[in-house]
Structure 1
Amino acid sequence: MTIKMFKSLWGTEELSYRESFALIAEAGYDGVESGVPAPEHEGEFAELLDEYKLDYIALISSSGSHAETFAHGLERAAALKPLLVISHSARDCMPYEEQLHFFRQALEAERSAGVPVGHETHRRRAMFTPWTTAQLLRDLPELKITADFSHWCCVCESLLEDQTEALQLAFERTLHVHARVGYAEGPQVPHPAAPEYARELDAHTVWWRQIVELRRRSGFTHTTVTPEFGPPGYMHTLPFTNRPVADLWDTCLWMANYVRANIV
């Protein structure tokens, strides 16, 4: 089992695609995770992936008419030949039957596109808690997730000690990992290396190891991971100055190196 490490373009918006790709390749990442570029930049984006020998994970989201926007986003993403697609899917406030209807349509679109989709465990979305996600996964055996358990820590105000069964099902259905460390009061600790958050880092490490082990047993040769720490306002800032308490690039790189050393 190997780890394929991806760098999110979130927080690098001030850089050009070329500048970002050059830094990402130099740092030893295997690929880029980002939204689908605007149509006028798709050609450049694809050329840079090839030039820097980077894989691509696409990020899409649904809104409004959720099934239609999902299908449109997936079609655009598939044209760039990503390894997989991450989707922020449906809404937390949708009645459960509407969520089921959406995900059934999403699975049909996924089969047609021929690209695997991991629906992210994200706040505001259908998979915003362990138990809502577990219900969907039980009812739809083909459904897969992008595991970002930092959101669940925030929503549940805990390290999910009472969610063992739901977590186990989530591990089994994980397609991709967002390696961000959350805590009871938020989706991102100030820095994962800080000793005061050792308990949170340890909990996430245990979860990620179980995902990798399950994938190994299932015959997968690699697991894709993105150390998806975000800029302000995910990242803590100092009052009055709005100055970030840590460097985003260094934080993500620390997390990437930690995962490589401790997860496989």
Structure 2
Amino acid sequence: MELTFFAPAWGNTLPFDQFCRNVKAAGYDGVEMALPFEEAEKSAILDTLAKHGLQLIGQYFQSFETDLDDHARNYEKYLRHLSAAQPVLINCQTGKDFFTFEQNQRLFELADRISGETGVKIIHETHRGKALFAAHITRDYLQKLPQIRLTLDISHWCNVHESLLENQTEAVQLAIQHTDHIHSRVGHPEGPQVNDPRAPEWAETLNTHLAWWDQVVARHRQSKTALTVTTEFGPATYLPVLPYTQMPVASQWDVNVFMLNLLKNRYSG
């Protein structure tokens, strides 16, 4: 099994070259990010990644339009734009939670067509507000559209279902079977991100997530297929902040590097 780790560009405030230097020094293999449409800016990003020997996972999150035709047009525009950079894969926050099954199905099938035409793998994130916002909803999509492959960000489901998914075992197991990429953020019943996974009060929650990720890794080891992981703890105010000062309660960078080293050590055998 080839296991590679990616840093999120989400939350970065440093010049991109310095960010990439830090990413490489920390031991990451690449960066997960969206790409600007302005050609010179896009080329500069791709050149900087190449300069530091970093791979790219393309990220699509701009699924904002409520009209399906407008939504599909922009979805295709963004996916073709990302595909042109030939990333390792594209991670999509596909669809909307209020679209019907048939409306979201149109988007999944559009992604399949673009992937077939470009040769770039396109997978879909389990994300609040999107088509795959809940465990039982995702189970229905996977049963009816088994070609869907997932970015498993199970932290969202913990929040949506206000639990550690004790009663969603069947849906979680099916999702694990379809997972090709992990966002290793730790969620909890009252939010999509614990304030600091290093804190002892989150040990049970962290271990629950690790047990899910262990199963994904085991499946890819058995099938000898590639697996990617982005340590996607987000910045303030996704990262909890103190009242009044709005100071984050932990360092986003430090937490993500902690997750990188934890998972590297756990899966190095």
Q: Normalising by structure 1, what TM-score? A: 0.96
SS in 2 for 1:246: coil
Write the distance in 2 (CA, Å) between the matches of 1:2 and 1:112: 25
How much has 1:96 moved relative to structure 2? 1.6
C-alpha displacement of 1:37: 2.8
- Counterpart of 2:32 in structure 1: which amino acid? E
Q: Which residue of 2 aligns with 1:86?
A: 91
Q: Tell me the residue number matched to 1:4.
A: 4
Deviations for 1:186-207, whole angstroms, at most 9, x for unmatched residues? 0000111111011110010000
Distance 1:101 1:80 in 2: 24
Structure 2 counterpart SS, 1:74: helix
Counterpart residue identity of residue 22, structure 2: L
Alpha-carbon contact 2:8-2:33 (below 8 Å) kept = yes
Query: What is the match of residue 252 of structure 1?
Result: 256
Query: Secondary structure of the equivalent of 2:146?
Result: coil
Instruction: Mark the runs of 5 or more structure 1 residues left unpaired by the alignment.
Output: none
Per the alignment, residue 234 of structure 1 pairs with 238
The answer as to whether partners of 1:67 and 1:106 remain within 8 angstroms in 2 is no
Which residues in structure 2 correspond to 1:176-191 (within 5 Å)? 176-191=181-196
Aligned position for 1:72 = 77
Contact 2:237 2:248 in 1 (8 A): no
**Secondary structure of the residue that 2:167 maps to in structure 1?**
coil
Conserved 8 A contact 1:153-1:183: yes
Which amino acid is 1:240 matched to? Y
Report percent identity of matched pairs: 39
Structure 1 stretches of 4+ with a deviation exceeding 4 A read none
Q: For residue 86 of structure 1, give the secondary structure of its aligned residue in structure 2.
A: strand
2:255 maps to a residue whose letter is: T
Report the alpha carbon displacement of residue 51 of structure 1 after superposing the two structures with TM: 0.8
Q: Which residue, out of 72, 94, 100, partners 1:95?
A: 100
- How far apart, in 2, do the equivalents of 1:144 and 1:2 lie? 17
Q: CA deviation at 1:154?
A: 0.3
In the alignment, the residues of structure 2 paired with residue 113 and residue 171 of structure 1 have an alpha-carbon distance, to the nearest angstrom, of 26
Equivalent residue number for residue 19 of structure 1: 18
C-alpha displacement at 1:227, in angstroms? 0.8
* SS of aligned partner of 2:192: coil
234-243 or 151-160, which deviates more: 234-243
How far apart are 1:2 and its partner, in Å?
4.1
Gap regions ≥5 residues in structure 2: none
Give the Cα separation in 2 of the matches to 1:169 and 1:190: 29
Asked if the contact 2:232–2:256 (Cα under 8 Å) also holds between the matched residues in 1, the reply is yes
Partner secondary structure for residue 143 of structure 1: coil
1:69-105 C-alpha deviation (Å, 9 max, x unpaired) = 2211111111111000011111000112212222122
Deviates more, 1:86-95 or 1:66-75: 66-75
Q: Where do 1:84-233 residues align within 5 Å?
A: 84-220=89-225, 222-233=226-237
Q: CA deviation at 1:48?
A: 1.0
- Offset of 1:133 from its aligned partner? 0.8
What number of residue pairs does the alignment pair up? 262
Q: TM-score, normalised by structure 2?
A: 0.94
What CA deviation, in whole Å up to 9, does each residue of 1:229-251 have, x standing for no partner? Answer: 01111111111111110011101
Aligned to 2:53: 53
1:50, 1:22 → 2: CA distance?
A: 11
| Matched AA of 1:129 | A
RMSD between aligned alpha carbons? 1.2
